[in-house]
Amino acid sequence: MRCTVATSDLVETLNVLRRDKAARLYSYPVSLDVAKGQACLRGGGGVTAVILPAVDVEEGRVVVEWQLLRGVLALDSLKNPTCSLVLEDAVCILSFEHGQLRLPVVPVKEWYPDLPDLGECLARTAISGDLLTQVCRALVPYAAAQNYPVPSYRGVLFSWEGGALTLWATDGFRLSRLLVPLQQGERLDSPLVVNIPASGLVLANRYFPHGKSISLAIYREDSVLQWNNVVLTLPSLPKPSIDYQSLVAVDMPQRWSVKRRDLSQAVEILAPLLPLDTPLRLVADSAGLRLSGITTTTFGSYTIPYTRLRDKSSKIAFNTKYLQTMLASWDCEQVVIQTKNETSPAQFLPDGDENRCVVIMPVYIAWP
The residue type at 268: E
Are 156 and 210 part of one and the same domain?
A: yes
Q: Count other C-beta atoms under 10 Å from residue 270's C-beta.
A: 22
CA distances from 38 to 41, 60, 66, 133, 208 (A): 10, 11, 21, 31, 21
Are 188 and 226 part of one and the same domain?
A: yes
Residue 84 lies in a domain: yes
pLDDT digits (tens, 9 = 90+) for 246-287: 888 777 888 899 999 999 999 999 999 988 778 999 999 888
Euclidean distance between CA atoms 177 and 88, whole angstroms: 53
Q: Domain boundary at 225, 244, 263, which?
A: 244
Sequential DSSP letters for 87-110: EETTEEEEEETTEEEEEEB--HHH
What does each of the 368 residues of the chain score in pLDDT, given as a tens digit? 899 999 988 888 888 777 765 544 445 788 888 888 888 888 765 567 788 899 898 998 888 888 788 888 888 888 889 999 999 988 999 998 888 999 999 887 766 666 667 888 999 988 888 888 888 877 776 677 766 777 888 889 999 988 889 999 988 888 999 998 887 767 788 889 999 988 888 888 888 888 888 999 999 888 999 888 888 888 889 988 888 888 887 778 888 999 999 999 999 999 999 887 789 999 998 889 999 998 888 899 999 999 987 766 788 999 999 999 899 888 899 999 998 888 989 999 998 788 889 999 999 988 77
CATH code, 352: 3.10.150.10
Q: What are phi and psi of 137, to 5 degrees?
A: -95, -35
What is residue 22's predicted lDDT score, i.e. its pLDDT? 53
Residue 368 lies in a domain: no
Residue 367, burial from CB neighbour count under 10 angstroms (0-12, 13-18, 19+): exposed
Are 80 and 160 part of one and the same domain?
A: no
Range of the domain at 148: 121-244
Are 105 and 154 part of one and the same domain?
A: no
pLDDT digits (tens, 9 = 90+) for 42-72: 876 556 778 889 989 899 888 888 878 888 8
Residue 199 lies in a domain: yes
Are 127 and 40 part of one and the same domain?
A: no
Count structural domains, the chain. 3
Sequential DSSP letters for 193-238: EEEEEHHHHHHHHHHSPTTSEEEEEEESSEEEEEETTEEEEEEPBP
3-state DSSP: the chain helix, strand, coil percent, rounded to 5? 25, 45, 35
Q: Domain boundary at 111, 145, 173, which?
A: 111
Are 235 and 138 part of one and the same domain?
A: yes
How are beta strands 55-58 and 299-304 bridged, if at all?
unpaired
Q: Which of 34, 12, 45 is closest to 203 using CA atoms?
A: 45
Decide: 9 and 85 in contact? Cβ < 8 Å. Answer: no
What is residue 101's predicted lDDT score, i.e. its pLDDT? 92
Are 134 and 231 part of one and the same domain?
A: yes
Half-sphere exposure of 43 (CA within 13 A, CB side): 24
* Cα 20 versus chain centre, distance: 13
Are 51 and 151 part of one and the same domain?
A: no
Q: Record the pTM.
A: 0.82
Residue 367 lies in a domain: no
Q: Domain boundary at 244, 277, 296, which?
A: 244
Residue 116 lies in a domain: no
CA distances from 270 to 319, 360, 366 (A): 12, 19, 20
